[in-house]
Structure formats: C-alpha cells, structure tokens
Amino acid sequence: MKKLINIPNDVVDEMIDGYVKAHPKLVRKLNENKRSIVIASETRENKVGVLIGGGSGHEPAFMGYVGKGMADGVAVGNIFASPPPDPIVAATKAIDKGNGVVYIYGNYAGDLMNFGMAAELAELEEDIDIEFVVVNDDVASAPNNEKEKRRGIAGEFFVTKVAGAAAEKGYSLKEVAEVARQTNNVTRTMGVGLSPCYLPQTNEPSFTLENNEMEIGLGHHGEPGVEKGELQEADRVADRLVQDILNDITISKGNKVAVLVNGLGSTTKMELYIVFRRVEQILAEKSIEIYRSYVGNYSTSLEMGGCSVTLTKLDDELTELIDAEANCPMYAQL
C-alpha cells in the first residue's frame, strides 16, 4: 500500500504538527504535551470542559472534533492505540474552567485504564472533578444483554455532539455527563468491512478478505465481525445493517432519529449516498422520521473499505442539542 509519509514512526506527530498549523484559529497544541490539542479560543469561566481521545488513524475522529460546540480538547494516541495518561491530564488541566471535565471515549481496555488513571491524577493534582462517558454503540460486538462489553465506534460522534452542545448551553458537570450517557444509550451502529487498512509501520493488512467477500460487524481496528460472506448489493447490505440495529433498540412509528452513514476511509461518497438512499427508504416505510442526516467520513480506519450506519433515537432535548451549532477544523454545523 502506497502512503505519503516520511518516517513511519513519526506519522502521528507530523500529522498533529500539520493539523494545528493548518487551523491556528481553531486549535492549538499544548507546549506541555505534544499529544494534547485544545480549542484555540478562550472558553468562558465555569463552562464544563469536554475532553475526547483515542488512537490515531480514525480521522476526523478524534482530533477533528475539537472546537466550539463540540470538544474542548483531545488526547491523541498512536495509531489504533489509546493515549497514555500524560496527554489526557495535560489537556484536562488546560480546558478546566472550574466546573470539571467530562471524559468521552470508546469502550476499549486501554482507554478505560488510561482515562481512569488520568482522572485520578487530575483530581489529585488539581482537584478537578471528572465524569466518565464510555461509548459502546457497536451492536455486532456483544449481545444486547451484555452491552457493557460492546465497543465504541462511529456513534461517539453523536455523543460528543450532544455533550459539547450541552456544555455550551451551561449544563452542569453531572448534567452534561448524563445527557451524553443518555445519547449513548439510544445510539446503535452496525458496520460492514470490504477491504483492510495498512499500518504505516508494517504495511501489512489489518485483516484479509477475498475480492468477492465482505464482513458484517467488522471492528474499526479489524476486530472480527459476526459474519463473512459474498459481497452483496448496497441495498441488501443496508437492509442488514439497519435491521440489526432495529432488532436491538425499539424505534417506533413516529419516532425521530439522527442518521450517520459513515465511511471507513476508502469508500467513496457515491457509495455512501447509495447506502443512505436505502436507509432512508427503510425508515420511511416504517414511518420513522430522519430529523438530521450525516453522510461522509466521520470515524475512519485509515484506508479501510466499508461503512457503518448509526441511528440515534431523539427526544426533544436531544433534538435541540443535535441541532446546535458547532465549528471544528474537520466538521462544522452552522
């Protein structure tokens, strides 16, 4: 796999350097830690901070979502690896305005450990109150009665969106965390993998599929899915993804949803809109209203081929927060 890089082990730091130089009015890198990025503008006193983070390679997640109306800071890990505690603590201190910080991250062992350690250090060193929101929207990764084992994937975008809007509106620390957890609880994602990604350090595929194969439920890091099979037409794939979601969460006639059709890296916008077309048809047939739709690369895996579908069931409060403005280097809703 051909890549436009220099030294493989330097890709993350060079990406961050280019990113903050390209968007100096929106984000800045902390002098205290080169893996900590925070919003460039000064946020108001007593605003609850929102901190996200995870491994690189998922861009625009996670660092692309630092900005007004979204996250105040991000801790950046190596490719597909959790950030260590140090950049998490540095970003926490930088964004705390006196009312605490909400940590939002996916349900992975490294993130659970490192964000937990960082919270202990932040509370010990600076007396900063921390709340945790662990995202676990991936339907394929565990059965419904074991949701605590599920991975966090593209649904983290909606959780961050809601938390950032709530913090901007002046919600308290516990209120921001609670509405973010509520969003996670009503968010489900199912994905399909078509082709692997290649890590810069190894240039080896993250998994293998035959040319005529696809894998339903494949994880963002190449974790095994629930079913391998022959590549099907886009409509049939969308049918399967949406039906698995609707089998897992009750979304009834007259309900409103936010929909994300997310590309995993190399899948074209043409393909994603073809998938969205079928998702809209399925939901319309069930009299489920799509209140807002998002189509594109929101949480990728380098150049992996495939996509995921995310549905978030909306009530009045979540509708208002999903609607709120946001302005980040890699995402804007104005």
Helices (H), ranges, the chain: 11-22, 85-95, 109-126, 156-168, 173-185, 234-248, 269-285, 316-323
Catalytic residue among 23, 29, 35, 58: 58
- Respond yes or no: is residue 23 known to be catalytic: no
Residues paired with 133 in a beta bridge: 104
User: How much is the pLDDT for 233?
Assistant: 98
Q: What is the pLDDT of residues 46-78, one digit of tens each?
A: 999 999 999 999 999 999 999 999 999 999 999
| Per-domain residue ranges of the chain | 8-186, 187-322
| Average pLDDT of span 310-316 | 98
Query: DSSP string covering 98-147, please?
Result: SS-EEEEEES-HHHHHHHHHHHHHHHHHH---EEEEEE--BGGGS-GGGG
pLDDT above 90 for 289: yes
Give the integer Cα–Cα distance in Å for 77 and 12: 8
**Higher pLDDT, residue 223 or 39:** 39
Answer whether 0.75 is exceeded by the pTM.
Answer: yes
Q: Kind and range of the H or E element at 51?
A: strand 49-56
Supply the angle between the helices 85-95 and 109-126 in degrees, to the nearest 10.
Answer: 50
Indicate if the pLDDT at residue 158 is higher than 90. Answer: yes
Contact between 188 and 249 under an 8 Å Cβ cutoff? The reply is: yes
Q: Can you tell me whether residue 24 is helix, strand or coil?
A: coil
Q: How high is the pLDDT of residue 1?
A: 84
C-alpha span between 15 and 150 (Å, rounded): 30
* Domain 187-322 grouped into CATH 3.40.50.150: no
Catalytic residue among 93, 151, 221, 256: 221
Task: Confirm or reject CATH 3.40.50.10440 for domain 8-186, answering yes or no.
Answer: yes
Contacts of 193 (CB under 8 A, 6+ apart): 207, 209, 214, 215, 218, 222, 225, 264, 304, 305, 306
- What average pLDDT does this structure show over 98-112? 98
Nearest to 318 by CA among 293, 281, 291, 282: 291
Nearest to 221 by CA among 152, 311, 295: 152
Write down the pLDDT at residue 222: 84
The tens digit of pLDDT for each residue in 175-223 reads: 999 999 999 999 999 999 999 999 999 999 999 999 999 999 998 888 8
**80 pLDDT exceeds 90?**
yes
Retrieve residue 310's tokens: 């995310």
pLDDT of res. 7: 97
Instruction: Quote the CA–CA distance of 160 and 324 in Å, as a whole number.
Output: 12
The helix or strand, by DSSP H or E, that contains position 53, with its residue range, turns out to be strand 49-56
| pLDDT given for residue 322 in this prediction | 98
pLDDT tens for each residue of 115-157: 999 999 999 999 999 999 999 999 999 999 999 999 999 999 9
Q: What is the pLDDT of residue 133?
A: 98
Q: For 220-241, what is the mean pLDDT?
A: 95
Question: Is the pLDDT at 109 greater than 90, yes or no?
Answer: yes
Give me the amino acid identity at 97.
Answer: K
Extract the tokens encoding 255: 């309900």
With a CB cutoff of 8 Å and minimum separation 6, the contacts of 230 are 212, 213, 214
Which of the 8 DSSP states describes residue 208? -
Structure tokens, 87: 């950049």
